[in-house]
Amino acid sequence: MRHERGGSANLRCRKVKSYGLADPARLQDTQARRLGELKVQESKLARVRRRGK
């Protein structure tokens, strides 16, 4: 349950790339969304680290 969300998204993206099924615009949208999620997670981590100091 821990890594399910990130892992499944990663797998989905890899599948799309290998089969070339998705149109480039949709692929870009998916990548942008994943980058956005990563940035949110990073900012949360940074906040936690700052609080810990």
Instruction: Dump pLDDT digits (tens) for 3-45.
Output: 444 455 555 555 555 555 557 788 888 889 999 999 999 999 9
DSSP annotation of 20 reads T
- 38 burial level (CB within 10 Å; 0-12, 13-18, 19+): exposed
CB atoms within 10 A of CB 30: 15
Is the pLDDT confidence value at 48 over 80? yes
Single pTM value for the model: 0.43
Per-residue pLDDT at 29: 87
Per-residue pLDDT at 43: 92
